[in-house]
Amino acid sequence: MDLLYWLMLLKAPNLGVKTFYKSLRYFETPQQVFQASHHERLGSGLFKKSTLAYLNSANTSIVKADLEWMQKKNCHILTLIDKRYPPQLKTIADPPPLLYVRGDVGCLKEPQLAIVGSRNPTTGGKQNAYQFATDLSKLGFVITSGMASGIDAQAHIGALEQSAKTIAVCGTGLDRIYPAKHKSLAHQISMQGALISEFFIGTSPIASNFPRRNRIISALSLGTLVVEASIKSGTMITAKLAAEQGKEVFAIPSSIHNPLSQGCHYLINQGAKLVSNINDIVEELPEVSLSDILPQKKDDSIKGMDKTGSKVLKCLSYEPLSIDQLVEKTNLSPQIVSQELLLLELAGKLEKTHAQGYILIK
């Protein structure tokens, strides 16, 4: 069983991810590391004394908890070479060799957007996280976050309440829920999306693990939306990692008197996209990624247009109208109008002009 050897090798003392990958390049598979002679392992120059001692005497009992966890319903452990392993995660410098997944493995490959922010947000921050998650979920995006208190939780809830998929990247083993108050939320996420972690079963909430898990949040997603954040925070680490990975970074501005606006304003000054509605996000995403979700949404928009969409459509004409004008005509909020315009555009009902106006298509 290949997984057995992956687990056993990764649990070796003083063997980090980099050494793990070096050993794969040298020995080709984890199994061959264990099947090699002590002389071969010593000659590779890869392993410290404590690691060599472990490899000489390792037994399967050390991975018993992980293998027993995997026998539970909807619990999976994916190796890097598993076909179900998300390909976008393989492109980063240090992809996790193993991914523990509880829930729908398939959603890991679907188009995702990360929504992250402060654990102690303002009321407005919570509302923004919830609303953006709601609106993006309606377009077919999977919402990815870290299940922390505050912004993360609101983003997950926004998706769940749309019966949409959401992914929580955890900084503990998946047999632990952190924070503990999110036990019910974690269960809902696992039923509608997935909980994932690179950490072994039994791993407690260690502070250093949370910045590490942030690289997975950003790597899985097409872009990362920062709702509220202080300058020195885990959220800013996620945004930095996203930029380094070549992903889009989005930030919502707010009052200069709000301490939690400092992170967002800093990111905007550094080149992050200022966001006021979901159009600002979607227009930056690559067409090849959008094609994975747009055809389905196009059909849905035509067949099942709701009253709100119809209201916006009735106000459009063959003369360009701006969002502000449509807000005035429909008495709907700018965010709802923007959302409906995007859905109508995807349905082929209207066209966006160069002057930021919208016109009906004949």
Q: What is the pLDDT of residues 138-167, one digit of tens each?
A: 999 999 999 999 999 999 999 999 999 999
Phi-psi region of 103 (alpha: psi -120 to 50; beta: other; left: phi over 0): left
234 touches 214 (CB < 8 A): yes
What backbone phi and psi angles, to 5 degrees, belong to 151?
A: -60, -45
Distance separating alpha carbons of residues 356 and 137, to the nearest angstrom: 24
> Rounded to an integer, what is the distance from CA 38 to the centroid of its chain?
41
Q: What pLDDT, in 10s, does the model give residues 257-288?
A: 899 999 999 999 999 999 999 999 998 987 54
For 349-356, what is the mean pLDDT? Answer: 73
pLDDT at 300 over 50: no
349 backbone dihedrals φ, ψ, rounded to 5°: -90, -25
Give the chain's mean pLDDT. Answer: 89
338/294: higher pLDDT:
338
Give the model's pLDDT for residue 302: 36
* Local confidence band at 77 (pLDDT 50, 70, 90 cut-offs): very high
At 201 the pLDDT is 97
Q: Which residues are paired to 359 by β-bridges?
A: 351
Paired tokens of 50: 């404590």
Q: Which of 57-61, 163-167, 263-267, 338-342 has the lowest mean pLDDT?
A: 338-342
Nearest to 97 by CA among 233, 197, 234: 197
Which one is predicted more confidently, 307 or 234?
Answer: 234
Write the DSSP assignment of 174-241 as a string of letters: TTS-SSGGGHHHHHHHHHHSEEEESSPTT----TTHHHHHHHHHHHHSSEEEE-S--SSSHHHHHHHH
Residue 138: closest CA among 348, 336, 359: 336
Burial class of residue 286 (count of CB atoms within 10 Å of its CB; 0-12, 13-18, 19+): exposed
Q: Which residues contact 288 (CB under 8 A, 6 or more apart)?
A: none
For the chain, state the CA radius of gyration: 23
* pLDDT value at residue 304: 42
pLDDT category at 294 given cuts 50, 70, 90 is low
User: Cβ neighbours of residue 64 under 8 Å, at least 6 residues apart?
Assistant: none
> What is the distance between the alpha carbons of residues 120 and 263, in angstroms, rounded to a whole number?
14
